[in-house]
Amino acid sequence: MENFVIYTKVADTGQDIYAFDVPFEGNISQKDVHLSDNFLDSSIDNFLAMKTGRLSKGIRRLSGKDGILRIEVEPFSRQAPFRLKIGDRVLTGEDAERTDTLWADRFRPYTEGEVIYRLYEPESASGKRPLILFLHGGGECGRDNWKQMVGCFGAAHLAESYPDCYVMAPQAKGKEPSPEDIEAFLHQTFATSDQPSGSGWDREYLAGVCDIIRRMIDEGKVNPARVYVTGMSMGGAGTLRAMSVGADLFAAALPVCPSMTPETFSILKGLVHSKIWITAAYIDHTHYRHKYIVDGIMALRDGGNQDAHLTLFSPEELAEYGIGIIPDMPLEAKLGWNHTCWIPTYHNASGALGWMMEQVKN
């Protein structure tokens, strides 16, 4: 429908709707506007919808101007099959003329060789600016050059938090994991966990990403002493690989719950002169992850690297961000929820994000 606009933002759990614009003439009251199906078919989102009151108070406020009705709502997932009823008219997501997304829309799409990415460029950039490289997790793989922006809490939040910096968000090759892929992943061992060549954040692809950053440095856009890399899960492993591929490039790294494989564990132990802070939940669905993270950081510190840091979020610290709070939840589901420890990390709960941005390469 013309002029039916959905307004979204990238929140803790992904892309959330917070308002609508709808063409409307005449008078209308809040009792004439109804929102339904504004939740995902998952135990977590159903629980959070009830806990926050989203189901009972979906409509926050109405306002009108120039024939457009603005409807502000309790934020809910863009993936939810919502129905917005205004009088006798019913609208769904398929009826929208467009969807606007705060901050994410300010990233421009680029393709250079095999690398596809989006780049946030500071509006008032004068001289050389810092750059943050953000590497998404396994669920955002593909070639659409958009899912890495809205599929997870990361790039858009970093741009909002550090609007004077470049934020680069490439998209890794591959496909979204199927239920069979996830089941196989949950039963793999450390010895069998190495990433297949040519998928995800492999070394060749990351070398191309690093070359783009080097070009931006040569063009005088990026401060070569303030280039940072961070990522979550598969992107946390990619962060470690990037530190290996582009050893000369990064001032500091923040891998969040990085996938630990024989390769990434070896890279981690070799970062003897690097500034690195790893964050993870106290345990998540990859049960062996934490043993190798702890061993790797301890090896660095025992070897004299006092810029190697580790945060393992406790159940209480995760609960402060609404993670793992459903009573009597099945253990495997709770451990999967714990994996979203990038939420407190990128809210700077541990201080790791602020620490990274303060580092300057010698």
pLDDT at 85: 95
pLDDT of the residue at 124 = 75
Q: What is the pLDDT of residue 96?
A: 97
Summarised one tens digit per residue, pLDDT across range 23-62 is: 998 888 888 999 999 999 998 998 988 888 887 779 999 9
Q: How many residues does the chain have?
A: 362
Q: Are residues 330 and 231 in the same domain?
A: yes
b/e sequence 233-264, b meaning 16+ C-beta within 10 Å: bbbbbbbbbbbbbbeebbbbbbbbbbbbbebb
Q: Are strands 59-65 and 107-112 parallel, antiparallel or unpaired?
A: unpaired
Record the pTM. Answer: 0.95
Query: What does the buried/exposed string (b/e) look like for 29-53 if buried means 16 or more CB atoms within 10 Å of the residue's CB?
Result: eeeebebeebbbeeebbebbbeeee
pLDDT on residue 199: 66
Provide block-wise average pLDDT over 10 residues at a time, the chain (362 residues).
93 96 89 93 90 84 92 96 94 97 98 97 87 96 95 96 97 81 75 71 96 97 98 97 95 97 96 98 95 98 98 98 94 95 98 98 88
Both 205 and 239 in a single domain? yes
- Cα distance between residue 2 and residue 22, in whole Å: 9
**Residue at which a domain ends, from 82, 100, 118:** 100
Q: Are residues 185 and 303 in the same domain?
A: yes
* One domain for residues 278 and 247: yes
Q: Kind and range of the H or E element at 353?
A: helix 352-358
Q: What is the pLDDT of residue 198?
A: 59
- The answer to whether the beta carbons of residues 337 and 330 sit under 8 Å apart is no
What pLDDT is recorded for position 51? 84
Share of the chain above pLDDT 70, in %: 98
Same domain, 23 and 147: no
Q: CATH number, domain at 301?
A: 3.40.50.1820
Residues 235 and 138 in one domain: yes
Q: What angle do CA 100, 97, 171 make, to 5 degrees?
A: 45
Which pLDDT does position 127 carry in this prediction? 86
Q: Pick the last residue of a domain from 100, 121, 154.
A: 100
The verdict on 95 and 110 lying in the same domain is no
Residues 151 and 282 reside in one and the same domain = yes
285-174-207 Cα angle (round to 5): 100
Domain boundary among 100, 116, 138: 100
Residues 62 and 142 in one domain: no
Q: At what angle do helices 203-218 and 234-245 cross, to 10 degrees?
A: 60
Domain that holds residue 13: 5-100
pLDDT tens profile 266-290: 999 999 999 999 999 999 999 999 9
